[in-house]
Amino acid sequence: MEEDAILQKSLKWLRDLSKGNISHELEALTLEGLQIVHAQKGSIHCNFIVPTRASDPDGNWHVGAMATLIDDVAATAIYSVVDHVKLSLDFSISFYSTAKIQEEVEIEAKVIGEKGRLTQVVVEVTRKGNTELIALGKQWMASDKKGMKPSQVSSKL
């Protein structure tokens, strides 16, 4: 039962970010319209239609906006496991393709390892329908305080 409560808290945190209820406007803009399809401890699956506001000059999904979304969905997957938001230590993204504005994509984050206060998560962004890989994010996150709560973290950026 407690596991479900932690999962629900982590999903509420992500929804609040996407609505601009917490953190900065940048995250609300880059997460606008994010739909959580399935979630369980350590795994989040979302659908997302790339908003016009997240465009680069060529009409593609801006890589900075994509990085923000990957970072926040990764943090949510970790939050669902450890009941708090951690700080990014190592964050890398490999870009394989572009996504156009108004294109629908899928985002899947999975916690793949824990060691002490360190947690690793992998996030795949794929084109909806044909599962073509758009980006692959890998992130190590750490807690500087045991039990740090989301209200103690002002932004993931």
> What is 52-90 written as a DSSP string?
GGGB-TTSBBPHHHHHHHHHHHHHHHHHHHHSS--EEEE
Work out the angle between the directed axes of helices 2-19 and 63-82 (0-180°, nearest 10).
160
- Report percent pLDDT > 70 for the chain: 88
Tell me what pLDDT residue 155 has.
Answer: 41
pLDDT at 136 over 60: yes
The per-residue pLDDT for range 92-115, each reduced to its tens digit, is 999 999 999 999 999 999 999 988
Q: Domain 2-152 class?
A: alpha beta
Global pTM value? 0.84
pLDDT at 157 over 50: no
**Where do the domains of the chain lie?**
2-152
What whole-number distance in Å separates Cα of residue 27 and Cα of residue 36?
Answer: 16
